[in-house]
Amino acid sequence: MELSDRKKRILKSIIDAYIDSGEPVGSKFLTSYGNISLSPATIRNEMSELENMGYLDKPHTSAGRVPSSSAYRLYVDELMENYRLTMEELNVINELMHFKASELDKIITQAGKVMSELTQCVTLSFTRENGADTISRFDTVFVDETSFLLVMISGTKQVRSEHVKTEYYINDEALCAIRRVLNENLTGITLENVTMPLIMKMEAEAGRLAPLINPIIRIAFSCFETEGDGSVKISGLSNLLSYPEFSDVEKLRSLMDMFDKKKGYLKNLLSSPDPQNAENLGLVPQDFGSDMKIYIGNEHDGTAFSDTGMVFCTVPMGNTQSVIGILGPKRMDYRKAVSALRVLAENMEKTAGIENNQNTEDINEQ
């Protein structure tokens, strides 16, 4: 049954009040503070109908009502207004612009801390590569006559280094030759494209250092072979202690156990918002734009996530895709979470765009 405008207005006022206070909302409160010019009796009748329709629940110990999962779904889809971040909140997010896109790990880590502080919720973050990564540049650093540091920069600007020890005499001329062979033959290709003819060609070009080619290839690609898997980073778990919903120590412990046991499901949920991944966590998925998703806990599934809500967005940055999610109680401030994540996503994309333009200019100048 479609809700009337009056019912929607009342339901929105109840949800806004419950998000703000965490206390069940009654008709008296709506009459006094809900900006609804209706009699208490009319409001009570409407609330009773909303309860019968499954949008409100009545706690046993209170005369007031609390929103159901269905109410929150309607709220985020139709009733929720835009949240205007304060200048202070905007400045905190804008500070992330000081990082370079090549410092993706630092951006994601710091973004998680910033989002958890702004929303007073838990932040989940995940980064994965859109396809196989390649190495864009090799460099070498002299250590001593029988060893050197092999520095590798991936196509996604990740930097890895390995200390290579050899039985051969190494000097600057030898390192220059190794760099040339690697950069001319291995950059921009995946491990699957490293064929035996290519290896033989590189060995011929390396001369007396030919025995180093195979070990260097193994080192180079092993450094990046697990990059695409990513991992879920969690920030701000202690924030949940401030919510009455998690004042029960057992409930909080159960949720924390789920974080440990269900990290695989969380990772799948963040990297691929498939409904089945959401159901494995007891969450009800809702789209909120092409890059924004909202998940609302299902009260009837009995899992530790049943009293939670989660908002997350995806941010493509070159060859990687970063996902930032905010998880809190089911009555979390979805307006603020959506606005904060949207500004963060815009900033991260802007950072990536600026650096890509700079890299293009540098290449053109060369």
CATH code of 157's domain:
3.30.390.60
Tokens representing 148 are 């050197």
Residue 34 clears pLDDT 80, i.e. is over it: no
Split at pLDDT 50, 70, 90, the class of 231 is low
Residues 237 and 106 in one domain: yes
Residues 284 and 334 in one domain: yes
Residues 262 and 349 in one domain: yes
Mean pLDDT: which of 229-233, 288-292, 313-317 is highest?
313-317
Residues 74 and 93 in one domain: no
249 membership: H or E segment, kind and range: helix 249-261
Cα–Cα dist 56/71, whole Å: 7
At 133-172, the pLDDT tens digits run 678 889 999 999 888 998 888 776 677 888 888 888 889 9
Higher pLDDT, 280 or 105: 105
Domain end call among 223, 253, 279:
223
Residues 115 and 38 in one domain: no
Cα–Cα dist 171/309, whole Å: 59
Q: In what order do the strands lie in the sheet with 159-165?
A: 135-144, 147-154, 159-165
Task: Give the model's pLDDT for residue 262.
Answer: 56
Task: Give the model's pLDDT for residue 347.
Answer: 79
CATH number at residue 70: 1.10.10.10
Q: Please give the share of the chain, as a percent, with pLDDT higher than 70.
A: 75
Burial class of residue 229, CB neighbours in 10 A (0-12, 13-18, 19+):
exposed
275 membership: H or E segment, kind and range: helix 275-279
Cα–Cα dist 233/229, whole Å: 13
Residue 176 clears pLDDT 90, i.e. is over it: yes
Residue type present at position 95? E
Residue 299 clears pLDDT 50, i.e. is over it: no
- Name every residue whose Cβ is closer than 8 Å to that of residue 300 and which is 6 or more positions away in sequence: 306
Distances, alpha carbon 347 to alpha carbons 78, 120, 237, 333, in Å: 26, 21, 25, 22
Residues 215 and 304 in one domain: no
Q: Provide the domain count of the chain.
A: 3
The 3-state DSSP class for residue 124 equals strand
Contact 330, 307 (CB under 8 A): yes
Residues 201 and 244 in one domain: no
User: Residue range 252-270: average pLDDT?
Assistant: 66
Split at pLDDT 50, 70, 90, the class of 267 is low
The 3-state DSSP class for residue 95 equals helix
Residues 159 and 62 in one domain: no
Tokens representing 203 are 């060995």
Split at pLDDT 50, 70, 90, the class of 228 is very low
Q: Which of 132-141, 255-264, 270-279 has the lowest mean pLDDT?
A: 270-279
Task: Give the model's pLDDT for residue 182.
Answer: 92
Q: Please give the share of the chain, as a percent, with pLDDT higher than 90.
A: 18
Residues 261 and 310 in one domain: yes
Per-residue burial over 75-90, b = 16 or more CB atoms within 10 Å of its CB, e = otherwise: bbeebbeebebeeebe
Cα–Cα dist 339/106, whole Å: 22
Residues 54 and 188 in one domain: no
At 316-356, the pLDDT tens digits run 665 566 788 899 998 999 999 999 988 888 877 776 654 54
Cα–Cα dist 89/69, whole Å: 29
CATH number at residue 344: 3.30.450.40
Domain end call among 181, 207, 223:
223
Which residue segment(s) compose the domain that 166 sits in? 135-223
At 46-84, the pLDDT tens digits run 999 999 999 999 887 667 899 988 899 899 888 888 888
Split at pLDDT 50, 70, 90, the class of 96 is confident
Domain end call among 193, 223, 253:
223
Higher pLDDT, 2 or 101: 2
Tokens representing 284 are 């009800």
Residues 197 and 92 in one domain: no
The gap between the terminal CA atoms of the chain, to the nearest Å, is: 66
Residue 114 clears pLDDT 60, i.e. is over it: yes
Q: For the chain, what is the mean pLDDT?
A: 78
Residues 125 and 274 in one domain: yes
Tokens representing 217 are 């290839």
CA 176 from centre of chain: 41
